[in-house]
Amino acid sequence: MAECPSALLTDLYQLNMLQAYLDYGETETAVFEFFVRKLPQNRRFLLAAGLDQALQFLEGLRFSADEVDWLRSTGRFKPNLIEYLTGFRFRGDVHAMPEGTAFFANEPILRVTACLPEAQLVETRLINILHYQTLIASKAARFVLLAPGKLLVDFGLRRAHGADAGLMAARAAYLAGFSGTATLEAERAFGIPTFGTMAHSYIQAHDSEAEAFDRFTISRPENLTLLIDTYDCEAAARKVVALAPRLGERGIRIGAVRIDSGDLIALSRQVRHILDEGALRDVTIFASGGLDEAKLGRIVREKAPIDGFGIGTSLTVSADAPSLDCAYKLEEYAGRARRKHSAGKATWPGRKQVWRCERNGRMAGDVIGLDRESHEGVALLRPVMIAGQRMAGGPTLVQSREHAANQLAKLPPKLRQLEPGAVYSVRISEALQQLSAKVDAGLSRDNRLESPG
Amino acid sequence: MAECPSALLTDLYQLNMLQAYLDYGETETAVFEFFVRKLPQNRRFLLAAGLDQALQFLEGLRFSADEVDWLRSTGRFKPNLIEYLTGFRFRGDVHAMPEGTAFFANEPILRVTACLPEAQLVETRLINILHYQTLIASKAARFVLLAPGKLLVDFGLRRAHGADAGLMAARAAYLAGFSGTATLEAERAFGIPTFGTMAHSYIQAHDSEAEAFDRFTISRPENLTLLIDTYDCEAAARKVVALAPRLGERGIRIGAVRIDSGDLIALSRQVRHILDEGALRDVTIFASGGLDEAKLGRIVREKAPIDGFGIGTSLTVSADAPSLDCAYKLEEYAGRARRKHSAGKATWPGRKQVWRCERNGRMAGDVIGLDRESHEGVALLRPVMIAGQRMAGGPTLVQSREHAANQLAKLPPKLRQLEPGAVYSVRISEALQQLSAKVDAGLSRDNRLESPG
């Protein structure tokens, strides 16, 4: 599994706040919720992802002796905080939407209920985990919807933002419906199918392309894919045709050819023609090289004879929308609802729930309300951790992947078709609106009474 | 330090190729170079970064017993490869530009000279490391150039793409001239100064903003910054003015206020006015909240009274250009120059060097040539690792940061001013052009002779 980063991988201000909370005994129950304020311009829905790693983080969060010693050595913190961190365990409750659930702006996908310092301390890394996998699962879903029935493989480790991103992109893409990844560690850590052929350097290292093909096929006869665009695709396709009968005599079958550059539509047709003429109708064509939704969509619309795609950088950095406007906000403390008012960043207060209605097997509208309300439809946030312990029977990655597929199938047609203007109905309940007004009234009073100006 | 990810964090195809290389004894010396093919639209130069982590990776790369066992268990690889990986050590040479060096399209910033399987195996993670830090250092340099003399702090851990990215963004931004980061682990791992105040949740957790300010100032009197935009900035600024004399009696000084939302230019002026009227001329104003180059540029041009900036997501995901079109390509094998011809991705063959001329203290033009040539100017690629051992006396992070500052100062004025059309002269040497033609001629012959079609 992925290594657990240091407990110090957090913002300094978390420890500043914890010091103040402990000094004043401010340790009553707090409720924080993670949500996305506004969807990126190109997104009509998002897919929740990263919950498994988030819960793993919460369960495993410890300050090692080295970390505590270092904190002490900075001279910044008092003994009460050092002692608190030494024995730190997260003992809160978590409610969340299952991974793979489609969700929309302002809908909490995870809710933490814990004593204030615990709920506060986990903020930074919790956002860091949920943000990235949700970003990538949501991006991957677009490719999945664009190319039904095609093999889609994550090729993006090298240009993902660091090690953790590379590995988690493979997971999030698989969750959203990709067939697999090129990243070997993702197979070991998560059981995700891996795909891999050869690089241009392999071809270039040989004195001729034919020699490279020859040797590779003998060494790696399983799932054999030959890269044919290093020098000239058509010439290489002819070499593949020439090679096939000789391989056949040894019982080796060429599975696919890969094209990684150039006009993929034109080249795939030429290559398909050469392969078909050469009695290699079963050899599939796999394409890669800077593919994004626009290019993939065009290839699919024009019915280019490409059977599978390696999607790299555009997927793993979510190139058209490399971040989500997400937040983890305090909604309740010591039994009182709270709300942030900052311009453009006001939040809905209180402990919330999301209800979803379906009609004819399609999602038909959500309500965001207070947890204590009851509404028609299914409540999407469910308990996943009680008193710091994960609940048994959580889904496997494959089950979450099935759930995601099910969610994509249930999206209203306009959302499935990635139509730019499509909107899904999300209603704020009466009770939630009333609570917001009440919280605001309380605040104005506070400001009126105290403002010295 | 950052944890070392698994040796399996690589593309499956690397091991496929290694298997074939070993089977045929293809283990002669290979030369690979890392470079950026084309700069993103908004970049006129890049800053090289990540070399320290890249060398650490090369020096430390090992396959653990668990990893080897797992590889064996997949049944995909032959005993010769398993044995090779069990004892794997990188024993090659590395030449590189020092971290913080400004560079341009097609200029190699790192060259690996090693036996083919070693040089090949390290490709994926080497790109993954160099790409991200170079991406972020280059992005950070834009903020540094836009806001000379201002305090710039990385606030982007939470929305960076995973744990590794969060930590390395802090490093790359500091290297490029940021004053520090909010990420605590970056202080422990790299000695980078950290900054941190409080979150809105801290204010919200209290029954009134005044109480929150009161308690925080007593608990955290050092480097005291108060967040004033949770409800109403001006009202909060007045509370700060009211609080200051009481704090003064206890010897506590308010260092700064932070505004995280709204119209930062207008708000900072109002807040400055209130602070000045309240005899708090020394209290500085720190701004954050969705800042990018456009917003920062406008704030600086309009001379808003803001002294420091927290730059978050736009920095750590490099929002306007979340990836670089970079590659690690085979340029020579067994003493022969190699070149990839794929459409739009052709590379310059051979073992290369970059020479840079200066005139009047400014960079005046580069030449990309063959390593064995000599040209006017300074050769930028220097040996940094010999036979798998890092050379002693490499720069510290602070020295690399000074080098970066020096490089930014030497940029031609149009590049420093981030002018959209500005171009820097990079010439390809005669000898390199001749070698390319020669390699091409060799290739055409190869294709002519072997193509069966």
- What would the pLDDT profile of A367-403 be if each residue is shown by its tens digit? 999 999 999 999 999 999 999 999 999 999 999 999 9
Is residue A342 very low, low, confident or very high in pLDDT (cuts 50, 70, 90)? low
Domain B12-136+321-450: CATH superfamily is nicotinate phosphoribosyltransferase (3.20.140.10)
pLDDT at B449: 36
Which DSSP string do the residues of B184-249 spell out, in sequence order?
Answer: HHHHHHH---B-----HHHHHTSSSHHHHHHHHHHH--TT-EEE--SS-HHHHHHHHHHHHHHHHH
pLDDT at A418: 86
What whole-number distance in Å separates Cα of residue A209 and Cα of residue B378? 38
What whole-number distance in Å separates Cα of residue B343 and Cα of residue B290? 39
Contact A16 B165 (CB under 8 A): no
The beta strand positions in B265-421, using DSSP E, are: 284-287, 308-311, 325-333, 336-337, 352-359, 362-370, 378-379, 382-386, 389-390
Please name the residue that has the structure tokens 């420890």. Answer: A15
What whole-number distance in Å separates Cα of residue A137 and Cα of residue A36? 14
Whether the per-residue pLDDT at A451 is higher than 50: the answer is no
In chain B, residues with a C-beta closer than 8 Å to the C-beta of A326 are: 159
Contact B209 A333 (CB under 8 A): no
CB B28 within 8 A of CB B334: yes
To 10 degrees, the CA torsion angle through A108, A114, A115, A116? -20
CB B31 within 8 A of CB B330: yes
What single DSSP character describes residue B28? Answer: S
Q: Across residues A401-419, what is the average pLDDT?
A: 95
**pLDDT tens sequence across A5-31:** 999 999 999 999 999 999 999 999 999
Residue type, A311: I
Mutation target to probe the B interface, by most B beta carbons within 10 A, among A8, A14, A16 is A16
> Please, what is the end-to-end C-alpha distance for chain A in angstroms?
56
pLDDT at B340: 72
Closest CA to A20 of B198, B134, B286: B198
Whether the per-residue pLDDT at B342 is higher than 80: the answer is no
pLDDT at A313: 98
pLDDT at A3: 58
Whether the per-residue pLDDT at A93 is higher than 50: the answer is yes
- Give this complex's ipTM: 0.96
Distance from CA of B364 to the nearest CA of A (A): 31
What whole-number distance in Å separates Cα of residue A243 and Cα of residue A432? 69
Task: Provide, rounded to the nearest whole percent, the portion of chain B with pLDDT above 90.
Answer: 91
Closest CA to B144 of B453, B451, B323, B411: B411
pTM of the model: 0.96
Which DSSP string do the residues of B174-185 spell out, in sequence order?
Answer: HHTT--EESBHH
Distance from CA of B261 to the nearest CA of A (A): 6
CB B228 within 8 A of CB B258: yes
**pLDDT tens sequence across B137-154:** 999 999 999 999 999 999
pLDDT at B443: 62
pLDDT at B3: 58
What whole-number distance in Å separates Cα of residue B339 and Cα of residue B329? 9
Backbone angles phi, psi at A239, to 5 degrees: -65, -40
Which DSSP string do the residues of A49-105 spell out, in sequence order?
Answer: --HHHHHHHHHH----HHHHHHHHHTT-S-HHHHHHHHT-----EEEEPPTT-EE-T
Nearest CA in chain A to B199: A13
Exposed, middle or buried, B451 (CB in 10 Å: 0-12/13-18/19+)?
middle
Nearest CA in chain B to A191: B74
Average pLDDT, chain B: 94
State the Rg of chain A over Cα. Answer: 26
The larger pLDDT score, comparing residue B420 to residue B367, is at: B367
Q: Reduce the DSSP state of residue A6 to 3 states and report it.
A: coil
Mutation target to probe the A interface, by most A beta carbons within 10 A, among B69, B78, B184, B271 is B184
Q: Across residues A213-226, what is the average pLDDT?
A: 94
- A205-209, B323-327, B346-350, range with greatest mean pLDDT: B323-327
Contact B185 A12 (CB under 8 A): no
CB A177 within 8 A of CB A47: no
CB B369 within 8 A of CB B355: yes
Residue type, B220: R
CB pairs under 8 A between A and B: 376
What are B55's two structure tokens? 């060398």
Closest CA to A171 of A186, A182, A150, A156: A186
